């Protein structure tokens, strides 16, 4: 265990943290995380999770096996079943995990790297819990005991949650079980199906890391730099927090707030966009102890300064600490939210930064997607953004979902509540904006259910609604997002969800399908829909001639109008906007986002250069804007150098001219960055 001591002052405080091994705090925090974790997700006909844990690169050590829950999921039975054999098999399973005949044969035989055989004798004569070396390595039931599968969600914790310790189950080295499979047997099942009930691959279970380092000022001059970095090995571990901040000025507290920063706003840290502290357990802050005097659960989950001390009187701050109530996994995860630093006076919001994923690009990549509700005659306006980390071994993180939706119309302030929402199997087209709700969004088909949940009894909706819940997400259809995350509002606040059952990438992925929003008050009528598409991010530097009374917001609005795109597909980084050539030009960094980001960048270049764009950049099925203006009055900036000598003359017909040709300075420099945005470890 680590022992950390804080030191911070108005000068340059050194990091004075030690642990029992004598290392510095950073090294001490790393030592606590050096463990190998692997995971098995069962999806059909049983749902559940199994976690394997062992010290990293020490395959001779004991392995902890935690069975979180196992629940019947295909609807064939509601009864709890007992005495299930289980074993690690030599191969990853194929698609026969749902085959009615000869299920899970692709998993191969029981993993047996040491070739343990007993000839004609019974395995029971040799393989026993007290003689683990006499068992085949994969034969877990012989060493650890058999499993129980709960029939209903309410009995899962009582019957199926188990924990074992095994001394012969390596997670690293040449005999590692990573990439193999875990098979559950049913001895009294149908003969046509065989004895194998369920199987799933053993995949990596990776730590999570978030970093807040890209700071935005809230109207004042931005002086703060540094980062807030949070790491968690698994949902069963404490979170390790490291804070390194410089440039502080009369600051008070710092907290995690509900939503990510909207970079295009002049005041991006205000309560109108980031709202209050992240407080999912609804802790009353008035009942919390004074700062640093209570336990983490006595404060709001996002109240970092309450748990560990504020920034009062400091110009820089450096500290490391452990938090038992700051999850990077699960429904209450802080990934995709924001950190806000407050002023001491009036507790005003001073600076803010989004908590972005931190990962090594050699180990993983971040996949981004968006469902853009931009149809002018549609019934919802806004977006649903999704991000997920894809590791090199194919394992996927939970999906973080940001939702910002309202009713169409620039000045519409209506608000409707409790809209259910689902992923449908197909994309939608012109049917997204038809008036009759009986034919609206019909091209989407039906709810996406790639893992055949409730397959044996699909009409038993009462059973499904009782079993599919936020605490049992794998028991839901993958497309039934509203049942796991809750309903959404149109015209309310932005919200952020973390979903454990929302894969984005093929072969089982949501990209290319559609999101359907149903009517208010949990109506079953289809209300609005949009397709889920890749969300790219292209960045371009542009220099413009600056006309009198130039306003960036007005320029962006005119640009979006000509290109026919919503505001979330094109915005500017206000922090980097600056004047050039004595105020004759203005330089901006434009962000093009969404599935057409590359086309938008090229169209804007042509529009600025030629002053005209004949067709809108974004095609909207069934809609033509007859009032669209195809021209724009802004031009790129080419400035004559007043110090250049006029010594060169033209020859020929115009040789009497005394003006030398002026070669304009480069006016557009494009840098293209395709999402995901990478934050290096």
Q: Output the pLDDT for position 124.
A: 65
The CB density around residue 592, as the number of other CB atoms within 10 Å, is 25
Burial (CB count <10 Å: 0-12, 13-18, 19+), residue 105? middle
Q: Is the pLDDT of residue 674 over 50?
A: no
Q: Output the pLDDT for position 651.
A: 36
The CB density around residue 322, as the number of other CB atoms within 10 Å, is 18
The pLDDT of 400-428, averaged and rounded, is 95
The pLDDT of 411-418, averaged and rounded, is 92
Q: Output the pLDDT for position 191.
A: 83
CATH number corresponding to 35-204: 2.60.40.200
The pLDDT of 197-225, averaged and rounded, is 94
Burial (CB count <10 Å: 0-12, 13-18, 19+), residue 78? middle
CA distance 369 to 509: 11
Q: Is the pLDDT of residue 653 over 50?
A: no
Burial (CB count <10 Å: 0-12, 13-18, 19+), residue 582? exposed
At 70-121, the pLDDT tens digits run 999 999 889 999 999 999 999 999 888 888 788 999 999 999 998 888 767 6
The pLDDT of 418-443, averaged and rounded, is 96
The pLDDT of 342-349, averaged and rounded, is 92
Q: Which has more pLDDT, 635 or 420? A: 420
What tokens were used for 191?
């003969």
The CB density around residue 484, as the number of other CB atoms within 10 Å, is 23
CA distance 238 to 245: 22
Q: Is the pLDDT of residue 27 over 70?
A: no
Q: Which of 403, 404, 420, 395 is nearest to 479 (CA)?
A: 420
Q: Is the pLDDT of residue 252 over 80?
A: yes
Domain spanning 207-357, CATH architecture: Sandwich (2.60)
Q: Is the pLDDT of residue 479 over 60?
A: yes
The boundaries of every CATH 2.60.40.200 domain in the chain are 35-204, 207-357, 364-534
At 130-158, the pLDDT tens digits run 777 788 999 999 999 999 999 999 999 99
Torsion of CA 485, 147, 207, 27, to 10 degrees: 140
Q: Which has more pLDDT, 140 or 665? A: 140
At 165-179, the pLDDT tens digits run 999 999 999 999 999
Please tell me the class of the 364-534 domain. mainly beta
Contacts of residue 111, Cβ cutoff 8 Å, sequence gap at least 6: 87, 88, 89, 90, 136, 137, 138, 177, 180
Q: Which has more pLDDT, 189 or 62? A: 62
Q: Are 285 and 303 contacting, i.e. CB atoms less than 8 angstroms apart?
A: yes
Q: How would residue 122 be classed by pLDDT, with cut points 50, 70 and 90?
A: low
Mean pLDDT lowest among 322-326, 378-382, 624-628: 624-628
Contacts of residue 490, Cβ cutoff 8 Å, sequence gap at least 6: 380, 405, 406, 407, 414, 415, 416, 419, 517, 520
At 490-539, the pLDDT tens digits run 999 999 999 999 999 988 999 999 999 999 999 999 999 999 999 999 99
Give the whole-number percent of the chain exceeding pLDDT 90.
73
At 370-401, the pLDDT tens digits run 999 999 889 999 999 999 999 998 899 999 99
Q: How would residue 22 be classed by pLDDT, with cut points 50, 70 and 90?
A: very low
CA distance 60 to 610: 69
Q: Is the pLDDT of residue 11 over 70?
A: no
Which residues are registered as beta bridge partners of 511?
Answer: none
The pLDDT of 647-658, averaged and rounded, is 34
Q: Output the pLDDT for position 23.
A: 33
Q: Is the pLDDT of residue 431 over 90?
A: yes
Q: Across all residues in the chain, what is the average pLDDT? A: 87
CA distance 341 to 215: 10
Provide the residue count of the chain: 681
Q: How would residue 573 be classed by pLDDT, with cut points 50, 70 and 90?
A: confident
At 265-276, the pLDDT tens digits run 889 999 999 999
- Predicted structure pTM score: 0.88
């Amino acid at each position: 265990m680590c022992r950390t001591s804080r030191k911070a002052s108005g000068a340059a405080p050194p990091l004075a943290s030690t642990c029992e091994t004598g290392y510095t705090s950073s090294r001490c925090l790393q030592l606590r995380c050096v463990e190998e974790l692997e995971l098995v997700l069962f999806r059909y006909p049983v749902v559940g999770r199994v976690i394997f844990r062992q010290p990293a690169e020490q395959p001779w050590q004991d392995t902890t096996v935690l069975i979180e829950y196992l629940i019947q999921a295909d609807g064939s039975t509601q009864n709890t079943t007992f005495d299930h054999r289980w074993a690690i098999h030599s191969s990853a399973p194929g698609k026969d995990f749902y085959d009615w005949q000869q299920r899970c044969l692709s998993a191969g035989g029981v993993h047996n790297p040491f070739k343990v055989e007993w000839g004609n004798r019974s395995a029971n004569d040799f393989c026993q819990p007290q003689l683990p070396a006499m068992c085949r390595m994969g034969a877990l039931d012989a060493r650890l005991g058999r499993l129980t599968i709960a029939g209903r969600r309410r009995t899962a914790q009582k019957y199926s949650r188990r924990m074992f310790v095994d001394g012969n189950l390596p997670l690293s080295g040449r005999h590692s079980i990573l990439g193999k499979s875990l098979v559950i047997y049913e001895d009294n099942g149908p003969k046509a199906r065989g004895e194998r009930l369920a199987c799933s691959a053993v995949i990596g279970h990776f730590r999570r890391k978030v970093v807040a380092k890209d700071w935005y000022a809230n109207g004042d001059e931005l002086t703060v730099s540094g980062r807030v970095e949070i790491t968690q090995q698994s949902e069963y571990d404490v979170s390790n927090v490291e804070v390194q901040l410089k440039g502080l000025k009369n600051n008070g507290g710092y907290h995690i707030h509900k939503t990510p920063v909207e970079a295009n706003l002049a005041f991006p840290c205000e309560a109108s966009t980031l709202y209050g502290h992240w407080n999912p357990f609804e802790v009353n802050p008035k009942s919390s102890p004074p700062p640093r005097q209570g336990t983490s659960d006595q404060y709001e989950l996002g109240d970092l300064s309450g748990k560990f001390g504020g920034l009062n009187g400091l110009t820089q701050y450096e500290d490391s600490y452990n938090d038992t109530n700051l999850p990077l996994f699960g429904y209450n995860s802080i990934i995709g939210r924001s950190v806000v630093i407050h002023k001491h006076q009036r507790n005003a919001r001073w600076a803010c930064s989004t908590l972005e994923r931190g990962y090594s690009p050699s180990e993983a990549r971040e996949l981004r997607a968006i469902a853009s509700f931009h149809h002018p005659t549609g019934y919802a306006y806004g977006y649903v953004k999704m991000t997920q980390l894809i590791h090199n071994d194919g394992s996927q993180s939970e999906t973080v979902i940001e939702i910002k939706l309202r009713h169409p119309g620039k000045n519409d302030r209506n608000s409707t509540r409790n809209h259910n929402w689902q992923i449908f199997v197909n994309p939608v087209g012109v049917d997204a904006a038809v008036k009759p709700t009986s034919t609206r969004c019909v091209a989407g088909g039906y709810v996406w259910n790639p893992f055949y949940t409730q397959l044996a009894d699909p009409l038993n909706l009462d059973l499904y609604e009782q079993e599919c819940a936020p605490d049992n997400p794998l028991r839901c259809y993958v497309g039934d997002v509203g049942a796991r995350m809750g309903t959404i509002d149109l015209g309310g606040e932005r919200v952020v969800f973390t979903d454990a059952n929302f894969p984005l990438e093929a072969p089982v992925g949501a990209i290319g399908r559609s999101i359907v929003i149903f009517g208010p008050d949990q109506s079953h009528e289809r209300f609005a829909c949009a397709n889920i598409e890749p969300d790219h991010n292209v960045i371009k530097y542009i220099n413009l001639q600056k006309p009198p009374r130039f306003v960036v917001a007005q320029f962006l609005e005119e640009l979006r109008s000509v290109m026919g795109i919503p505001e979330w597909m094109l915005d500017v980084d206000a922090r980097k906007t600056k004047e050039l050539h004595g105020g004759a030009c203005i330089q901006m960094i434009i962000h093009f986002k969404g599935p057409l980001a590359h086309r938008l960048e090229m169209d804007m270049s042509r529009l600025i250069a030629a002053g005209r764009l004949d067709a809108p950049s974004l095609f909207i099925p069934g809609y033509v804007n007859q009032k669209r203006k195809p021209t724009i009055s802004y031009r790129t900036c080419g400035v004559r150098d007043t110090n250049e000598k006029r010594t060169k003359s033209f020859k020929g017909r115009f040789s009497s001219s005394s003006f030398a040709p002026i070669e304009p300075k480069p006016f557009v420099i494009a840098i293209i960055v395709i999402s995901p945005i990478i934050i290096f470890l």
